[in-house]
Amino acid sequence: MEKKTFTRKGLYDLVWKEPLSRLAKKYKISDNGLRKICKRMNIPLPPNGHWQKVQFGYKVTPIKLSEKYKGKNEVTLDERGLNEVVTESPQAILKRITKEIENTSGLSFKVNDRLSRPDKLITSTIKFYQSLKRYRKTNRGEYPSRIDVLNIDVSEDNEHRACLIMDTIIKLLRARHHDVLARFRETVAVIQGEEIKIRIKEKQNFLDARETLGKTFFLYSGELIFVIGDYNKKEFRDGAEKLENKISSIVAYLEYQGNIKKDERIKWEIRRKEEERQEQIRREFKERQDKEVKEFKNLFLQAIRLHQANILRTYIQTVDSNMIKNGKLTEDYASWKAWAENKISWYDPLINGADPLLNDFHKTHIFMDLIRELQ
């Protein structure tokens, strides 16, 4: 642990460089405690939504540090050591995100009684269900096209309410620089580039078959449920509080899940790149290894050829000495000797003389062919 002293100007630069929540992890102080210090030292803090604008590349202008200050000009903070890991619980993270969203100016969490400038997805969804009702009533024409239709499964009595809730959530997500996409029977919120399935459904109660002449029925209960995710899903239900009062919690949970999925994707990308790097290292090593083996085989082959060429030279010298000794130096022998010396020059790797009939393939295989023939 190391103590760090900051001047008033230094602390001002620090809080405009990183969010208070991140600084709280770096130093042994809560974000609220750091906020109080800044207030005491008349240091302006970034307004709500500042870091979101920075994240999405919007231009931001820091609030200037006032020179009208006569208090203490330095503050000392305890920096956490490398092994001091601070982990926030999911509940604490959700609480922090919810608070941040609720404190962001310009956002509306109120679900109105009627649609006002509905999102384009709400408009296309309403048109689809209106067309569907007409189709079912007349049973004529083509089945309505399901394009840009939100995943809403509720009774006719609750369609308007479900659209009001979904419209409020979509507008909030767009205001927070996220997106919502409607595909065939699937709706996703796009948070930090990550897709999270969302839908609104109405709870259905099972009706005992004995009361319905052996047939099974499910009746809509009037209780709406906002579902986030697919397998490990999270549900926000009507209860003591209606869904209309849980809008900020729903948006906060979506952002929380988006951040988790983004972190997981980044970690997966890091693992994938590391695996690719290791595979590249293995591949390059194997290529170098194969090349080394090939070159060593060639070295060995050249040494064998040189050794064999010298054996042939020794043989010719011995034959030549014998011919001289026995007085058998004929023209035929001289012709044979010249032929043999040319072949040795062709075979010798230090000379590599030319030959009208034989080539490099023969240099490599002629000796092995001879061994096989002798077996």
| Residue-wise pLDDT tens digits, 332-348 | 999 999 999 999 999 99
Nearest CA to 111 among 190, 221, 226, 203?
Answer: 226
DSSP state of 235: E
Of these ranges, 13-27, 36-50, 346-360, the one predicted with the greatest mean pLDDT is 346-360
Give the structural domain span for 13.
2-87
Q: What is the pTM of this model?
A: 0.63
Pair 297, 166 in one domain: no
Pair 219, 172 in one domain: yes
pLDDT at 83 over 90: no
Domain boundary among 68, 87, 106: 87
CA distance linking residue 61 with residue 50, whole number of Å? 9
Tell me whether residue 75 is in a domain: yes
Name the pLDDT band for 1 (thresholds 50, 70, 90). Answer: low
Pair 230, 134 in one domain: yes
Pair 129, 158 in one domain: yes
> What is the CB neighbour count within 10 angstroms for residue 354?
10
DSSP state of 243: G
pLDDT at 55 over 80: no
For range 51-68, the mean pLDDT: 84
pLDDT at 303 over 60: yes
Token readout for 4 is 């760090």
Residue 207 pLDDT: 65
Tell me whether residue 230 is in a domain: yes
DSSP state of 232: S
Give the type of residue at 144: P
Pair 139, 265 in one domain: yes
**Given the structure tokens 């729903």, which residue do they identify?**
250
Pair 268, 137 in one domain: yes
Cα dihedral 21, 24, 30, 31 in deg (nearest 10): -40
Residue 63 pLDDT: 93
Residue 81 pLDDT: 61
Tell me whether residue 99 is in a domain: no
Residue 302: its H or E element: helix 247-326
Tell me whether residue 100 is in a domain: no
Pair 243, 310 in one domain: no
Tell me the percentage of the chain whose pLDDT exceeds 70. Answer: 95
Residue 53 pLDDT: 80
Token readout for 151 is 């995943």
Tell me whether residue 108 is in a domain: no
Residue 215 pLDDT: 59
Tell me whether residue 316 is in a domain: yes
Pair 137, 197 in one domain: yes
Pair 54, 129 in one domain: no
217-233 CB burial, b ≥16 within 10 A, e <16: eeebeebbbbbbeeeee
Pair 260, 154 in one domain: yes
Tell me whether residue 98 is in a domain: no
Domain boundary among 65, 87, 109: 87
Tell me whether residue 246 is in a domain: yes
Residue 336 pLDDT: 95
pLDDT at 169 over 90: yes
Domain boundary among 217, 245, 273: 273
Average model confidence (pLDDT) for the chain?
Answer: 89
* DSSP strand pairing (186-191 vs 2-7): unpaired
DSSP state of 201: E
Give me the number of domains the chain comprises.
Answer: 3
Cα torsion angle, 130, 131, 134, 139, sign: negative
Pair 362, 305 in one domain: yes
**Given the structure tokens 């479900």, which residue do they identify?**
162
pLDDT at 259 over 70: yes
Q: CB–CB of 94/252 below 8 Å?
A: yes
pLDDT in tens, 115-168: 999 999 999 999 999 998 888 888 777 888 889 999 999 999 999 999 999 999
Helix-then-strand count for the chain, H and E? 10, 8
CA distance linking residue 174 with residue 170, whole number of Å? 6
pLDDT in tens, 7-38: 999 999 999 999 888 888 888 887 778 888 99
For range 273-278, the mean pLDDT: 93
Token readout for 206 is 């099972």
pLDDT at 214 over 70: no
Nearest CA to 163 among 195, 130, 196?
Answer: 130
Pair 147, 224 in one domain: yes
For range 361-371, the mean pLDDT: 88
